[in-house]
Amino acid sequence: MLFRSLASRLRDTFPVYYGWIVVAASSTVVFARMAPAITTLTVLIFPISQQLGWSRTLIAGSVSAGAIASLALSPTVGWAIDRFGARPVLVISVLALGVAMLSLAWATIPLTFYIAFASARVVFHTSAPIGASTVAARWFIAKRGRAIGVIFLIGAVGGIVYTMVASLVVESYGLKTTWIVIGLMVLVISVAPSLLLVAERPEDVGLLPDGDEPAADAARKMSPISAFNEVEKMTLEEDSWSLSEAVRSRTFWLLILMGFACYFVHTSIGVHMGAYFRDIGLGATSAALAVSVSWIVSAIGSLVWGWVTDRIPVRYAYCGMFLFQAGSTLYLMFTGGTAGVFLASALFGVVSAGSNVVPSVIYANYFGRSSLGKIRGLGEVGVLLGQGTGPVIAGVLFSLQGGYDTIFAVFIVLALGCSLLALKARPPARAAVLNA
């Protein structure tokens, strides 16, 4: 109640609709989530190996450990968001993330390193993206795509910043200082905004989704009871599903399948892309720069995909994203030269942005706001399975065949197939669920 009162006072102190303040505050958590990103670990894997004497395989295994833990915890995180609210989940998440990154400075045995880094990756995979996109979806309906696009734009910027910070600090001050700096950045950037500025729903502070000013102004002139009833009536126009209803719809399982396929392909390419660039003749510095390009394009692309999902049926946007994924993978197979590699990386960034924004929008648009945390939490199981299995299978096929042609062909076929599935993923019909 104390925070609700604070948010109610703050809503009129900003020159923009307060929902955008909530989006900005939530974005700091998605920015912080990039602290344990694969690109950060890529920069630090060599000094970790040198200083602690660990193999690169052992170090990289912490990413898999985080994926396994996330797979088990994702439904629980979704339940907690709906039960306790996104704000406390986001605050606890960034506190835990900051502590985990700080503790890596003293993680000198594999067990403690795995516990700390895997804990950070759980926040990366689950509570940060699900919590932030859920709260944005609750504040926006007509502008939902743009709001979620802003969140993942800031996240992409975080990927660039943390990678650069890790690279610069480790060269000058060593590994221990690097982990401390990264951990402090997480805490300083994200804790206060998520704690003080995030409100769960516009209705909690007497506002309406999307900042419907005339309706909001009219509500202020009504009695408290009448205003509440008006807000309730308008927000109930968006159909909301319970988790039990969602799992009985065909569309929900199509979304899980597409999430698996999307990240099976995307994560595999992301993990192996740097090595692939080296295989086709690029130098180490050029390969690193090419990978960085994908982050820049992803940041811009997040806004573009957000705008697209607000303009066309979201299943068409999902179809387009899969077609883009298939086309960019085909281009990657035959690319060569520095310019070609940079273009391939840019195309990967476009897909990366779409894979963050489009699924977040489609779940919210199809299943509404009331149980979105639970539904997203269970839906992310498909994503996590794709992330966990894809890179391993790609690595095994590379070892057996000495190249990526076969797995790239599989990726193309899988993406093309899902582009057709996306067209079948129509908004679920409640009548069909009730008859099931």
The pLDDT tens digits for 305-332 are: 999 999 999 999 999 999 999 999 999 9
| CA–centroid distance for 65 within its chain | 18
Q: Other C-beta atoms within 10 Å of 104: how many? A: 26
Packing angle between helix 224-235 and helix 213-221, nearest 10 degrees? 150
Q: Do residue 284 and residue 157 come from a single domain?
A: no
In this structure, is residue 122 part of a structural domain?
yes
Q: How many domains does the chain divide into?
A: 2
In this structure, is residue 332 part of a structural domain?
yes
| CA–centroid distance for 162 within its chain | 16
Q: Other C-beta atoms within 10 Å of 236: how many? A: 11
Give the separation between CA 156 and CA 34, rounded to whole angstroms. Answer: 8
Identify the CA nearest to 354 among candidates 50, 145, 60.
145
Report the pLDDT value the prediction gives residue 387, as an integer from 0 to 100: 85
Domain final residue pick, 203, 230, 250: 203
In this structure, is residue 219 part of a structural domain?
no
Q: Do residue 323 and residue 197 come from a single domain?
A: no
Q: Do residue 48 and residue 193 come from a single domain?
A: yes
Q: Do residue 152 and residue 198 come from a single domain?
A: yes
In this structure, is residue 285 part of a structural domain?
yes
Residue entry with tokens 């779940």: 363
Cα angle, residue 388 at apex, residues 367 and 42 outer, rounded to 5°: 115
Q: Do residue 320 and residue 429 come from a single domain?
A: yes
Give the separation between CA 351 and CA 271, rounded to whole angstroms. Answer: 15
The DSSP code sequence of 79-123 is: HHHHHH-HHHHHHHHHHHHHHHHHHGGG--SHHHHHHHHHHHHHI
Q: Do residue 409 and residue 270 come from a single domain?
A: yes
Q: Other C-beta atoms within 10 Å of 431: how many? A: 8
Q: Do residue 169 and residue 36 come from a single domain?
A: yes
Identify the CA nearest to 178 among candidates 35, 279, 285.
35
Q: Other C-beta atoms within 10 Å of 111: how many? A: 8
Give the separation between CA 90 and CA 372, rounded to whole angstroms. Answer: 15
Low-confidence residues of the chain, pLDDT below 50?
A: 214-237, 431-436
Q: Do residue 180 and residue 325 come from a single domain?
A: no
In this structure, is residue 209 part of a structural domain?
no
Report the pLDDT value the prediction gives residue 284, as an integer from 0 to 100: 61
Report the pLDDT value the prediction gives residue 213, as an integer from 0 to 100: 56
pTM comes to 0.85
Q: Do residue 49 and residue 174 come from a single domain?
A: yes
Q: Do residue 182 and residue 253 come from a single domain?
A: no
Which residues constitute the domain of residue 197? 2-203
Domain final residue pick, 154, 183, 203: 203
Q: Do residue 322 and residue 185 come from a single domain?
A: no
Q: Do residue 249 and residue 378 come from a single domain?
A: yes
Report the pLDDT value the prediction gives residue 430, as an integer from 0 to 100: 62
Domain final residue pick, 177, 203, 229: 203
> Can you read off the two tokens belonging to residue 248?
């009985």
In this structure, is residue 304 part of a structural domain?
yes
Identify the CA nearest to 372 among candidates 171, 82, 111.
82
90, 26 contact by CB (below 8 A): yes
Give the separation between CA 168 and CA 185, rounded to whole angstroms. Answer: 15
Going 198 to 199 to 201 to 202, the CA torsion angle's sign is negative
- The predicted-structure confidence for 6-27, as pLDDT tens digits, reads as follows 666 677 777 889 999 999 999 9
In this structure, is residue 223 part of a structural domain?
no
Residue entry with tokens 């200082």: 177
CATH of the domain at 172: 1.20.1250.20
186, 94 contact by CB (below 8 A): yes
In this structure, is residue 282 part of a structural domain?
yes
